[in-house]
Amino acid sequence: MASQTDSLQDAIRAALATVQDPEIHRPITDLGMVKSVDIAEDGRVAVAVYLTVSGCPMRDTITTRVQEAVGRVDGVTGVDVELDVMSDEQRRALAEQLRGGQAEREIPFAKPGSLTRVYAVASGKGGVGKSSVTVNLAAALAADGLKVGVVDADIYGHSVPRMLGVEGRPTQVENMIMPPSSHGVKVISIGMFTPGNAPVVWRGPMLHRALQQFLADVYWGDLDVLLLDLPPGTGDIAISVAQLVPNAEILVVTTPQQAAAEVAERAGSIATQTHQQIVGVIENMAGLPCPHCGEMVDVFGTGGGQRVADGLTRTTGTSVPVLGSVPIDVRLREGGDDGTPVVLAEPDSPAAQSLRAIAGKLGGRARGLSGLSLGLTPRNKF
Three-state SS at 265: helix
Q: Is 111 annotated as a binding residue?
A: no
Contacts of 250 (CB under 8 A, 6+ apart): 119, 120, 122, 268, 270, 271, 276, 277, 278, 279
CA 231, CA 249: separation in Å to the nearest integer?
15
Nearest of 344, 324, 321, 341 to residue 332 by alpha carbon: 341
Identity at 137, one-letter amino acid code: L
Q: What are phi and psi of 31, to 5 degrees?
A: -95, 5
Q: Is 186 annotated as a binding residue?
A: no
Q: Is 145 annotated as a binding residue?
A: no
User: Distance from CA of residue 43 to its chain's centroid?
Assistant: 42
Identity at 296, one-letter amino acid code: M
Q: What are phi and psi of 251, to 5 degrees?
A: -110, 125
* DSSP per-residue letters across 181-240: EETTEEEEEGGGSSSTTPPP---HHHHHHHHHHHHHTB---S-SEEEEEPPSSSSHHHHH
* DSSP per-residue letters across 61-85: HHHHHHHHHHHTSTT--EEEEEEEE
Contacts of 14 (CB under 8 A, 6+ apart): none
Nearest of 347, 331, 279 to residue 139 by alpha carbon: 347
Number of Cβ within a 10 Å radius of residue 118: 25
Q: Is 124 annotated as a binding residue?
A: yes
CA 207, CA 311: separation in Å to the nearest integer?
30
Assess contact for 374 and 321: CB atoms under 8 A.
yes
Q: Is 129 annotated as a binding residue?
A: yes
Assess contact for 315 and 307: CB atoms under 8 A.
no
Q: Kindly report the length of the chain.
A: 382
Q: What are phi and psi of 5, to 5 degrees?
A: -65, -45
CA 96, CA 295: separation in Å to the nearest integer?
58
Q: Is 191 annotated as a binding residue?
A: no
Binding-site residues from annotation: 124-131
Binding-site residues from annotation for ATP: 124-131
